[in-house]
């Protein structure tokens, strides 16, 4: 097991406030088979954004957030979509495989404010 067995597809994603944003974590070599979790800011029970069980079923703490987990040939892809994003969605997100040593990787989600000019 090594750090390259888990990663986000993009290490940094920017989104427009009010729009949807998607982040994707990839877990290799069967390490996602026991499930995984997406956290915001730190790996603790009160910062779980979404949890995926060994069967691939996911639950999210916020109704604006959805998760899909797909496993093929030992590779698990966890895709989290945040709908109607706000400034508070910006920050560091972490993906953790549910294994004893717990592989962890992180990425940053940054907000872009929309500026409307009325002429």
CATH no. for residue 88? Answer: 2.60.40.10
pTM, entire model: 0.84
- Residue of higher predicted confidence among 98 and 105: 98
Residue 85 lies in a domain: yes
E-strand ranges in the chain read 6-8, 12-16, 21-27, 36-40, 48-52, 58-60, 65-72, 75-82, 91-97, 104-112
- The domain in which residue 104 lies consists of 3-111
In the structure, what pLDDT confidence band is assigned to residue 116 with cuts at 50, 70 and 90?
very low
Please count the structural domains in the chain: 1
pLDDT tier, 37 (very low <50, low <70, confident <90, very high otherwise): very high
Task: Determine, yes or no, domain membership for 116.
Answer: no
Flag whether 92 is in a domain.
yes
Of 14-23, 27-36, 55-64, 97-106, the poorest mean pLDDT is in 97-106
The answer to whether residue 15 sits within a structural domain is yes
pLDDT band at 73 (very low <50, low <70, confident <90, very high): very high
């Amino acid at each position: 097991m090594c750090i390259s067995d888990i990663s986000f597809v993009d290490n940094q994603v920017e989104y427009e406030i009010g729009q949807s944003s998607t982040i994707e974590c990839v877990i290799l070599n069967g390490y996602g088979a026991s499930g995984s979790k997406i956290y915001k800011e730190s790996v603790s029970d009160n910062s779980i954004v979404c949890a995926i069980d060994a069967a691939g079923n996911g639950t999210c703490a916020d109704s604006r957030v959805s998760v899909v987990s797909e496993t093929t040939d030992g590779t698990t892809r966890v895709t989290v979509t945040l709908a109607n994003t706000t400034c508070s969605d910006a920050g560091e997100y972490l993906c953790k495989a549910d294994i004893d040593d717990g592989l962890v990787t992180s990425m940053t989600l940054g907000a872009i404010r929309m500026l409307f000019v009325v002429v």
